[in-house]
A and B are shown apart, each in its own frame.
Chain A
Amino acid sequence: MINLQKIAEELVQYAKKQGADQVQINAGRNSNFNVQVREGEIEELKEAGSTGISLKIIKDEKVADAYSSDLSEDTLRKLVDNAVKRAQYTSKDPNSKLPELEKLTVSPESLKLYDESVEAEPPENKIAVSKQLEKILLSDKRVKVSLGSGYGTSYGEKVVVNSNGFSNSYKYSSASCYVYGQAGEDQNNMFEDGWSDTARAIGKLDPPEKIAKTAIERVVRLIGAKKIKSQNVPIVFDNTMASSLLRFLASCLYGSSIYTKRSFLAGKIGEKIAGDNITVIDDGTLPARPGSRPFDSEGVPTRKNSIIENGVLKNYLLDSYSANKLNMKSTGNASGTTNFYIQPGSTPQEDIIKSVEKGLFLTKTIGQGTVPTSGDISKGAFGLWIENGRLTYPVAEITFSGNLGDALKNIETIGDDLDPRRSITSPTLLVNGLSISGL
C-alpha cells in the first residue's frame, strides 16, 4: 500500500523548491462496499478503493489549488508546477496563509474513529442484513412497494501535511444500513419514507428489527394524508426535522457566508439571536461520534465550540481564511461542522405533542427553500395533525414557511430526544410563528 503521508511530505518539499512560500497537502484513501437489495434479490453490489490528493500553494500571498486522482509522480509534480505558475494570476491577499501550528487537543486514537470490525465484516453478513431489513418492511401489509434496502461500509485514512510543520493522519470507518418503502391505498396517492442508521463499528448499528420497524412506522402513518387549509399554528419538528432546521442554521454560520454577508447572522456576534433556552454547540472531540475528527483539513485541532449560548451568538464556523477576514480565530471547521447540536431539554416528545391544542407534527419535508442571506424558509411538508394534544390524521401537499431568525426566538419547548447517531442533531422542537399553506 502506498504511503500517502510520505508522498504528501515529499510534495511539500518539491513545491517549496519550485518557489511556493507555503504549501498544504490533503490526501485520502477510501475503501467502500455497498449492497442494495430489492424484492429479495441483490440489485446492486459495488466495491472499490480509491485515493486522491489535493494541494494548495501560496506564493507572494497569492493562492492556487489543485486536485488529482492520478497519483503518479509526473502528474503531481506537473500540478505543482502549474499551480506555482498560476498563482501569479490571483490577487495578493494577506488573509491567504496557512494556520499556525497548534497542538492537538485529542489524539486521533482516543477518538475511536476507526473500528476493525468494519473492514472485517464479510459481505455475506451485509447482504443478509439488507435482505432482512426489506423482509421485515414488506411483512407489514400496509407497505406496498419496496424502494430497496441496503448496507454500506467505508473505511480509510485522511492525511494533512503542510509547510508549517504539520504532518498527521487518522483512520476512520463507518457502517450504515437503510430501508425505504411506499405505502398507501390508492396507486395515485402513495407515500414514501424509511429509516437508516450509521455507526463507526458494526456492533454499534441498531438491530435490523428496530430500523425496519421505525421505517414502517414513518411511512404507514402518512397513508391517506390530505391537504389542510392555510393557517398559522405551532409546529412540532420531530428530531429528524429539527435536525434539518439546524443544518440550515449551520449553513448560515460558515465564515464564507459571514464575510460575504450572505447570511442573516453576519455581524451579529454578541447579539441575542435566539431565546434564552437555546444553546448550540459544535464539538469535534466526542469519541466514536459521526462528526468527530482530531483536526480539520487545514490541520487545525478540533475542539468544543460554543456557537450560541443561552440565545447569544458567540461564534461562527471558521476556517483560517474566513477567520483572518473577520479578525477572529479559526474554530477548526475548515472541513465543515463536526458534531453540531442543540443542547437538549427535558421534555419527552409525547409531552410536547400533548401541550399543543392545534398544530402540525412535522415528520418529512421536500424541497430546497432555504435562503441563508435572509434566513427565509419555505418547504413542502408531511406530518400528522395535532388536535387537543393528540395526533389525529396525516397531512401532505402543504408547505410551511417562515424565517429562521424568527423561529430561533420562538422555540417554546426543547425535547429530551437528542440522537447522538447523527452529526448535525437536534431534539424535538416546538416552534411558534411559522405559517402553513394548503387549500
Chain B
Amino acid sequence: MNGIRRRDFLRGAAAGAGVVALAGAGSQLVSGCSAGGGEAFSEFVPFSLEEMKKLLDVGLSKGGDFSELYFEYRISGSIGMEEDIVKSSSENISLGAGFRVVKGSQIGYGYTNEMTFDSVKQAALSAAAIASSSGKGTSADLTVETPKHKLYDMALPLVKQDVKSKIELIKSAYDAAKNYDPRIVKTSSSIYDELQYVTIANSEGLLVSDVRPQTRLGVSATAEENDKRNTGYWSEGGRVGMNFFNKEKDPVQIGKRAAEEAIILLGAKNPPVGEQIVVLSKDQSGVMIHEAVGHPLEADGNWKKQSIMHDKLGQMVANEIVTIYDDATISDYRGSLNVDDEGTPTENVPLIEKGKLVGYLNDRIGAKQLNHKMNGHGRRESFRHFPIPRMNNTILAKGDKDPEEIIASVPKGFYAISYQGGMVDNTGKFTFSVNTGYMIENGKLTYPVKNATLIGTNIQILKEVDMIGNDTGFFLGTCGKEGQSVPVTCGTPTLRIRKMTVGGSV
C-alpha cells in the first residue's frame, strides 16, 4: 500500500526474515515432497490435474486471457546466538495458493492459505473479476515439465539438518568475532534456512515444480572505544546446504570479517564532502549496479514509460568499457532460480553491452507489452503476491585493470568498501549508503571513513565509470520493490568513477 514506489536493497536480514526456523529437532511437517526429482508435482498440492484445470477455467470465466495457479509450501528455520548463549530458535510453515488472471496488462489476484478446492476457487473468482465480460475460454491440458536447470546444492539442505550441527556453525562464527579483539563488546550470530516448494500451473498448459533451498549465516559485531561504538556485519550463504559451510565458507571467517569492520570503524572519520573521484571495491559495490542499472531495466517501468531507460534501447547509456548482465543460472547463488515464479526457465540476460543498452529484465506481462521474449525474471515473495519483474544475480563484467593500479591512479578520492544498502526511484536518481570506506591520497589508502552517502543519476554515473578491475566480488542482499522482498546478489570488480557526489559532514 501507500504506493511504495522506491526500490531498495538491504544487506542483513530484511523485514520478515529473521523470524524463521528449523525443522531439525523434529521431523518434517509434510512428508514426501521429494526434492527436484521428476515427480508430477509436489505432494503438498492436494489437487489432481483435472481439478487444477477446472480452477484455471474458473479464472478465465469472466473473459481473462490467462490464468495461473501458484502453490507454495515453505518450511524455514532460524537459530540465533547473542550474549554468549543460544537465545532463539524458530520454525515456520507457510502454505498457500495464489491465483492470477491477466487481461491485457491488467492483473487480478487472489490467494488463500486454505488448500481446499472451494477456497482456491474463491481466490480464482476474486482474480477473475479483473475482466468483466462473460468469456468462455478454456485452459489447455496440463503437461508436466521438469526444469532444465539444476542450480541448487540439494545434498544436505540445512532445513533437514539437526539443530546441534547448526548451533555449532553459529557458535564458531560467534566466537571468532568475539575473540577477534578485546574492543569487541557485543556479538550476535544467526543462521536462517528454508526449503521452498513451488508448483506453477497455467492456462497455457504449463505445469512445473521447483524445490529451492536458501540459507544464510550472518554475524554482527559491535566494537567500543572511548565512548564510541560501531557495528560491523558480514554474511555468507546461497542456495546451498551444510557442505557450503563445511567446505567453502568457514564460519570463523564470517565472524572475523564482521569484527574487522567494527574495529576499522572505531578509527573512522567522516569523509570530505562534495564531488570527487570514487573507487568502489569489489566486495559489495554491486549494490551500485543493482540500483543504477538493475531496477531501471526491469520491464514494468519501461513498458509503462516510467523508467528513465524506457526510450534508450540500442543507445549508449554507459562508457563503452561497461558490460552488465543478470545471470539467474549461476549454481548455488542466492539469487539463482531453475525457473522463475511464472515457471519460465531462467537465463543469463545481457543488459548493457560495451555501453549500449541491449535488454530488459522481463516477466510475462512485460515481455508481451515490450514485444520481447520472456527471460525468466518474473518473481514473487510468496503465494500472497503476484509476480513482477525482478533481478536475480546482477553483474558488471570484469575489466583488465589491476585493482592496485586503479587505487594508485587516484590523486585524491574516496574508496567505498561496505554498504548498508541503496535506493533508486524511477527517474534514475539513486543513493547508496556506505558503512565503511577509506580516503585515497596520492594513490594510497589513508584513513578509514564512515557515514557517507553516494548520490547520483544513473545515466550520468554510468558514463563516468572509467576504469574496471580484473577481480570480482558479490554482495548478498534482499531486494525490496512494491512491498515484495526477494533474495538477490550483485557483483562488481573494483571500479573507478571519475566524479560523484559524496555526502558526509562538512
Contact (Cβ within 8 A) B305 A399: no
Contact (Cβ within 8 A) A66 B2: no
Q: Which of A188, A374, A438 contacts B451 (CB 8 A)?
A: A374
Contact (Cβ within 8 A) B94 A50: no
A89 to chain B, nearest CB (A): 5
Contact (Cβ within 8 A) B429 A366: yes
**B interface: dominant SS:** strand
A189 to B459, CA, bound (A): 10
Contact (Cβ within 8 A) A86 B224: no
- Closest residue of chain B to A194 (Cβ to Cβ) is B3
A202 to chain B, nearest CB (A): 15
Write out the residue numbers on chain A whose beta carbons fall within 8 Å of the beta carbon of B83: 260
Contact (Cβ within 8 A) A147 B86: no
A118 to chain B, nearest CB (A): 13
Write out the residue numbers on chain B whose beta carbons fall within 8 Å of the beta carbon of A191: 427
A219 to chain B, nearest CB (A): 11
Contact (Cβ within 8 A) A402 B505: yes
A44 to B93, CA, bound (A): 28
A371 to B12, CA, bound (A): 13
Q: Which of B86, B129, B431 contacts A399 (CB 8 A)?
A: B431
B360 to chain A, nearest CB (A): 18
Q: In this assembly, does A152 line the interface, its C-beta being within 8 Å of a C-beta of chain B?
A: yes
Contact (Cβ within 8 A) A401 B505: yes
A149 to B1, CA, bound (A): 10
Write out the residue numbers on chain B whose beta carbons fall within 8 Å of the beta carbon of A306: none
Q: Which of A47, A85, A260, A366 contacts B82 (CB 8 A)?
A: A260
Q: In this assembly, does A114 line the interface, its C-beta being within 8 Å of a C-beta of chain B?
A: no
Q: In this assembly, does A419 line the interface, its C-beta being within 8 Å of a C-beta of chain B?
A: no
Write out the residue numbers on chain A whose beta carbons fall within 8 Å of the beta carbon of B456: 397
A380 to B1, CA, bound (A): 23
Write out the residue numbers on chain B whose beta carbons fall within 8 Å of the beta carbon of A305: none
Q: In this assembly, does A136 line the interface, its C-beta being within 8 Å of a C-beta of chain B?
A: no
Contact (Cβ within 8 A) A64 B106: no
Q: Which of A83, A261, A438 contacts B91 (CB 8 A)?
A: A83
Contact (Cβ within 8 A) B8 A368: yes
B146 to chain A, nearest CB (A): 27
Contact (Cβ within 8 A) B113 A44: no
Q: In this assembly, does A361 line the interface, its C-beta being within 8 Å of a C-beta of chain B?
A: no
Contact (Cβ within 8 A) A188 B459: yes
A15 to B362, CA, bound (A): 48
Q: Which of A182, A368, A369 contacts B427 (CB 8 A)?
A: A182
A376 to B428, CA, bound (A): 26
A24 to B505, CA, bound (A): 47
A180 to B425, CA, bound (A): 12
B24 to chain A, nearest CB (A): 8
Contact (Cβ within 8 A) A369 B420: yes
Q: In this assembly, does A388 line the interface, its C-beta being within 8 Å of a C-beta of chain B?
A: no
Q: In this assembly, does A141 line the interface, its C-beta being within 8 Å of a C-beta of chain B?
A: no
Evaluate whether A401 and B222 lie within 8 angstroms (CB atoms) in the complex, with A89-B163, A178-B3, A367-B453 already known. no
Number of interface residues, chain A, beta carbon within 8 A: 92
Q: In this assembly, does B85 line the interface, its C-beta being within 8 Å of a C-beta of chain A?
A: yes
Contact (Cβ within 8 A) B25 A437: no
Within 8 A of B (CB), among A272-320: none
Residue-wise interface mask of A (176-205) relative to B, using a CB-CB cutoff of 8 A (1 in contact, 0 not):
101110101001111110101010000000
Q: In this assembly, does B207 line the interface, its C-beta being within 8 Å of a C-beta of chain A?
A: no
Selected interface stretch from B148-156, B270-278, B339-347: B270-278
Write out the residue numbers on chain A whose beta carbons fall within 8 Å of the beta carbon of B293: none
Write out the residue numbers on chain A whose beta carbons fall within 8 Å of the beta carbon of B110: 46-48
Write out the residue numbers on chain A whose beta carbons fall within 8 Å of the beta carbon of B115: 70
Contact (Cβ within 8 A) A192 B451: no
Contact (Cβ within 8 A) B5 A68: no
Residue-wise interface mask of A (335-379) relative to B, using a CB-CB cutoff of 8 A (1 in contact, 0 not):
000000000000000000000000000000011110101101111
Write out the residue numbers on chain A whose beta carbons fall within 8 Å of the beta carbon of B23: 82
Evaluate whether A367 and B422 lie within 8 angstroms (CB atoms) in the complex, with A49-B112, A376-B451 already known. yes
Evaluate whether A145 and B305 lie within 8 angstroms (CB atoms) in the complex, with A91-B85, A91-B86, A437-B503 already known. yes
Selected interface stretch from B53-61, B225-233, B242-250, B329-337: B225-233
A401 to B186, CA, bound (A): 26
Q: In this assembly, does B438 line the interface, its C-beta being within 8 Å of a C-beta of chain A?
A: no
Contact (Cβ within 8 A) B91 A79: yes
Q: In this assembly, does B367 line the interface, its C-beta being within 8 Å of a C-beta of chain A?
A: no
Q: Which of B26, B433, B455 contacts A397 (CB 8 A)?
A: B455
B369 to chain A, nearest CB (A): 12
Write out the residue numbers on chain B whose beta carbons fall within 8 Å of the beta carbon of A109: none
Write out the residue numbers on chain B whose beta carbons fall within 8 Å of the beta carbon of A366: 6, 423-425, 429-431, 455
- Closest residue of chain B to A256 (Cβ to Cβ) is B82
Write out the residue numbers on chain B whose beta carbons fall within 8 Å of the beta carbon of A264: 229
The 10 closest A-B pairs by CB, nearest first: A399-B503, A367-B431, A91-B85, A82-B26, A437-B273, A86-B25, A65-B90, A437-B503, A380-B431, A178-B3
15 contacts between A and B (CB under 8 A): A43-B106, A46-B108, A48-B112, A52-B113, A63-B87, A66-B90, A66-B93, A182-B427, A191-B427, A192-B427, A366-B431, A367-B423, A374-B229, A379-B431, A398-B455
Binding site for A on B (CB under 8 A): 1-3, 5-6, 8, 10, 19-26, 29, 79, 82-83, 85-96, 105-113, 115, 123, 126-127, 129-130, 163-164, 167, 185-186, 188, 220, 222, 224, 228-231, 270, 273-275, 304-306, 308, 311, 384, 386, 420-433, 435, 450-453, 455-457, 459, 501-506
Taking A50-B113, A70-B29, A91-B85 as given, write out 20 further A-B residue pairs in contact, using a Cβ cutoff of 8 Å, ordered by the A residue number: A41-B106, A44-B386, A46-B108, A47-B110, A51-B113, A63-B89, A85-B25, A91-B87, A178-B2, A182-B306, A188-B428, A190-B308, A198-B2, A231-B506, A261-B222, A262-B220, A380-B455, A397-B456, A435-B273, A437-B504
